[in-house]
Amino acid sequence: MEVAIIGASGFLGTALQRKLRGTDVSVYTRAAPFLDADGRAAEGLASARTAYWLATQINPQIAEQQPERVVADREAFERFLDAIDPSSTVVMVSSGGTVYDTGSAPPYFEASPTLPLSAYGRAKLDLEALLAARRPAGTHVTLRVSNAYGPGQRAASGQGVIAYWLQAARNGEDLTVFGDPATSRDYVFVDDVARALALVHAADGPLPAVVNVGSGRATSLADLAETVLDVVGHPDLRVLVTERRSFDVPHTWLGIGLAAEVLGWRPTTELRTGIAAAWAALR
């Protein structure tokens, strides 16, 4: 097989499969694991030229509250690294929104200092370090993705504010802002992320170890809520402000020039267009 996707049934995995139509792809999920009963790599994984690690069982809230799942996440990634062929290119998705040192002003570039404040950011940076230690230079790429959103994203407590708000709007519920409405994030549409992932497989030659993938711009929670309310067209909904969560950072967005340079990639979906697509899919 040309490509193996671990976590193929998830939000990003599903979108990546659409982008790789026409490519020989082997997909792995909880129901179809990448290791057989004897711990050997499945045939499609063993022969893959590019292997994507998109599987995870944690989000920011889970990482804070259930450290045993952070450990399990790392152990699963280790088993994956043990199983793949040394010549395969490994592509991992990390968190561009939580690994950088927010003591300095954004935007954050690949060479910006890292200093995660949350358990989730520390877990992602730990996987990055493990990948770099286990794989030769030129055979692995980490895409630090900002806040991905779009059709197919499940509303989950602790992550995915757009999906969470759209579900609330569908149910006629008010939108909840945790902390300061001026808090800003970098929101990138899922199809744009999937295109960046697919371009790694298509790249001619080795790539940098880390590449940022985001919109390259900051959007405050206040502006985001205004856009969501405009898209859903529900005049009776309110925006409720509650206490900040311990794992939230004030402002973060990414510099994405390197992705344009080495992958020929730039985001193409405007925020309102992407939110409208997610709303249409949810309805």
| β-strand partners of 148 | 188
For position 15, what pLDDT does the model report? Answer: 97
Query: Tokens 């992320």 belong to which residue?
Result: 193
For position 155, what pLDDT does the model report? Answer: 85
pLDDT in tens, the chain (283 residues): 699 999 999 999 999 999 999 999 999 999 999 998 888 899 889 889 999 999 998 998 899 999 999 999 999 999 999 999 888 999 999 999 999 999 899 999 999 999 999 999 999 999 999 999 999 999 999 999 999 999 999 887 667 899 999 999 999 999 999 888 999 999 999 999 999 999 999 998 889 999 999 999 999 999 999 999 999 998 889 999 988 776 677 889 999 999 999 999 999 999 999 999 999 999 9
Handedness of CA 63, 132, 197, 262 (dihedral sign): positive
Distances in Å between the Cα of 89 and the Cα atoms of 131, 133, 142, 200, 237 are 11, 14, 11, 9, 47
| Closest to 3 in 3D by CA, of 93, 84, 124 | 84
* Angle in degrees, CA 29, 188, 72, rounded to 5: 35
Q: Give Cα 18 distance to the centre of its chain.
A: 17
For position 37, what pLDDT does the model report? Answer: 84
| β-strand partners of 26 | 4
| Closest to 195 in 3D by CA, of 238, 150, 156 | 150
- DSSP 8-class letter at 176: E
With a CB cutoff of 8 Å and minimum separation 6, the contacts of 235 are none
pTM above 0.75, yes or no: yes
